[in-house]
Amino acid sequence: MKLELRGITKRFGSLVANDHIDLVVRPGEIHALLGENGAGKSTLMNVLYGLYQADEGEILLDDEVQHFAGPGDAMGSGIGMVHQHFMLIPVFTVAENVMLGNEQTKAGGRLDLAAARARVKEISARFGFDLDPDALIDDLPVGVQQRVEIIKALSRDAKVLVFDEPTAVLTPQETDELMVIMGQLRDAGTSIVFITHKLREVREIADRITIIRLGKVVGEAEPTASNAELASLMVGRAVELTVHKELANPGEAALVVQNLSVVDAVGQLVVNNVSFEVHRGEVLAIAGVQGNGQTELSEAIIGLQEKVLGSITLDGQSLVGMSVSGVLEAGVGFVPEDRNHDGLVGEFTIAENLMLDRSNTAPFVKRGTLQLNYLNQFAEEKTREFDVRSQGIQTPVGRLSGGNQQKVVLARELSRDLRLFVAAQPTRGIDVGSIEFVHKRIVETRDSGVPVIVVSTELDEVVALADRIAVMYRGSIVGIVPGNTSRDVLGLMMAGEVPDVITTVDTDTIEGALL
């Protein structure tokens, strides 16, 4: 089926998310929609899927204009969507999830589960999915859950499939398997729109590439285009794609974590007997698929988790039991994985956000009085140093782009007298230009002798920054390996396997997380 979008425009108040976008997806091709986070890719696909109504423009299928009042109309016309965050009911079986919203009934109005099971088996056999229709979703690995989402779409005879950032929660091996599946779907005649910001994946699987920047189509490219060319189109300028760093010369162990366990609010053990050390002048990256305890581990270090067993010491000082403010005063800088929820106050100005957690102490406050002159001078200096682009330091931080918001968090945390720097998902949701800047600052912090922990689900980022890598799976550390360990080995470890032989790669060939 041929898909065509003509002049699609979508506004949210004064924000133009999609600005007269034209896109043609040919029958039986994989068309990649490439762009920074916030470029308008997902908004465009939500218009196609009927979740949003376009303010201007037309959607055509096989040259016929379509009018979708909602997702049901889109699905009925042959459009399916595999969302980044799966739309599955964990306590339902595969077959039950597949039939949701498209229930078949037998005499008396009873659900025809047998038909749903048969449909799952038929599609699984066709694409080699090997799925048990009676398996509970909650018991399936993430990569297999994604196959269920694909079967849901195909069971409704989808001729156009949209994959929205489909590899965000997958291991490298699961990503490779998905690429094979996408190729099979294409060969079977399905038209695929592949939304991503990962250059490596685009070049591997796409037949054609359309680049969107700030809501507009800024160019098209072939998969033979270089990473540098694609990144330049995404950002609008040349981008350095390689993380340059000298070989680490680590000193003594500064942070020592021993037998650390964390129990969450509902009594579940989310970090299980974890031990490791971080030395001065090194980056220890903590890798793993999202949801394997990395978040809780970083929060335990900063004092955000209440039920913590074991010990965490920094330069011999115990951090367990300290308040968050006490940990920060002990010299820990922390970049939370959700900057909007935990790192910034959107209504506060840039200047006010730069003094968060220090608003009661000198030099920002003296004898109970806020030192506005000092605060403004400090804010001007840090916005210049960290290249925070805004209309001025009195701009509410909520009005900034994601990359500039992250720079404000970094500016605040790295302006402390640090003994440890913890960065959780430091480049999540920011563009390749800002990623380049963030990586440079992390390496500079390491080179100054500060021990650094980077928690990231982006494997390229982990390999690019790390001197050593601790891989977590189901709350435990599977192993700690050199920073140049191969992606294949790391992928196996992220799935809970411990390879007999740890293979490494030449660090000169490692490109950053922009690929």
Q: How is 133-180 classified by DSSP, letter by letter?
A: TTSBGGGS-HHHHHHHHHHHHHHTT-SEEEEESTTTT--HHHHHHHHH
CA angle 215, 437, 378 (to 5 degrees): 105
pLDDT of 508 above 70 = no
Helices 142-155 and 172-187 pack at an angle, to 10 degrees, of 20
Q: What is the pLDDT of residue 511?
A: 40
pLDDT of 141 above 80 = no
Domain C-terminal end among 392, 416, 440: 416
Rg of the chain's alpha carbons, rounded to an integer? 24
Q: What is the pLDDT of residue 276?
A: 96
Q: For residue 489, give its domain range.
A: 240-331+418-515
Q: What is the pLDDT of residue 365?
A: 82
- Are 220 and 142 in the same domain? yes
DSSP letter assigned to residue 341:
I
pLDDT of 147 above 70 = yes
Cα–Cα distance between 197 and 209 in angstroms, integer? 11
Q: What is the pLDDT of residue 509?
A: 37
- Are 30 and 113 in the same domain? yes
Strand order in the sheet with 283-287: 332-335, 420-424, 452-456, 283-287, 468-473, 476-482
pLDDT of 129 above 90 = no
Domain membership of residue 257 (yes or no) is yes
- Are 411 and 426 in the same domain? no
Cα–Cα distance between 309 and 275 in angstroms, integer? 12
Cα–Cα distance between 151 and 168 in angstroms, integer? 19
Write the pLDDT tens digit of every residue in 155-203. Answer: 888 899 998 888 766 777 778 888 888 899 899 899 999 988 778 888 8
pLDDT band at residue 92 under the 50/70/90 scheme: very high
CB 232 within 8 A of CB 290: no
Domain membership of residue 438 (yes or no) is yes
DSSP letter assigned to residue 508:
G
pLDDT of 398 above 80 = yes
Q: What is the pLDDT of residue 422?
A: 96
Domain membership of residue 337 (yes or no) is no
- Are 281 and 316 in the same domain? yes
> What's the average model confidence in pLDDT over 18-46?
89
- Poorest-confidence range of 345-349, 396-400, 441-445? 396-400
- Are 402 and 500 in the same domain? no
- Are 355 and 278 in the same domain? no
Domain membership of residue 104 (yes or no) is yes
Average pLDDT of the chain?
Answer: 87
Q: What is the pLDDT of residue 62?
A: 94
What is the domain count for the chain?
3
Domain C-terminal end among 393, 416, 439: 416
- Are 325 and 346 in the same domain? no
Residues in a beta bridge with 35: 212
Q: What is the pLDDT of residue 453?
A: 97
Give me the CATH number covering residue 149.
Answer: 3.40.50.300
Domain membership of residue 336 (yes or no) is no
- Are 81 and 180 in the same domain? yes
Domain membership of residue 268 (yes or no) is yes
Helices 487-494 and 172-187 pack at an angle, to 10 degrees, of 100
- Are 431 and 453 in the same domain? yes
Domain C-terminal end among 376, 393, 416: 416
Domain membership of residue 461 (yes or no) is yes
DSSP letter assigned to residue 213:
E
Q: What is the pLDDT of residue 37?
A: 67
- Are 246 and 347 in the same domain? no
- Poorest-confidence range of 98-112, 131-145, 273-287, 344-358? 98-112
| Whether residue 363 has a cis bond before it, omega within 30° of 0 | yes
Q: What is the pLDDT of residue 247?
A: 83
Cα–Cα distance between 87 and 402 in angstroms, integer? 26
Cα–Cα distance between 14 and 465 in angstroms, integer? 39
Alpha-carbon torsion, ordered 305, 310, 314, 315, to 10 deg: 160
Q: What is the pLDDT of residue 513?
A: 36
**Cβ neighbours of residue 153 closer than 8 Å, sequence gap 6 or more:** 75, 80, 81, 82, 161
Domain membership of residue 437 (yes or no) is yes
Residue 252: other Cβ atoms inside 10 A? 10
Write the pLDDT tens digit of every residue in 202-253. Answer: 888 999 999 998 899 999 999 899 888 888 888 787 777 677 788 888 899 9
Helices 113-127 and 142-155 pack at an angle, to 10 degrees, of 110
- Are 474 and 449 in the same domain? yes
Q: Mind spelling out the 3-state secondary structure of 230-296?
A: HHHHHHCCCCCCCCCCCCCCCCCEEEEEEEEEEECCCCCEEEEEEEEEEECCCEEEEECCCCCCHHH
- Are 129 and 48 in the same domain? yes
Percent of the chain with pLDDT over 70: 95
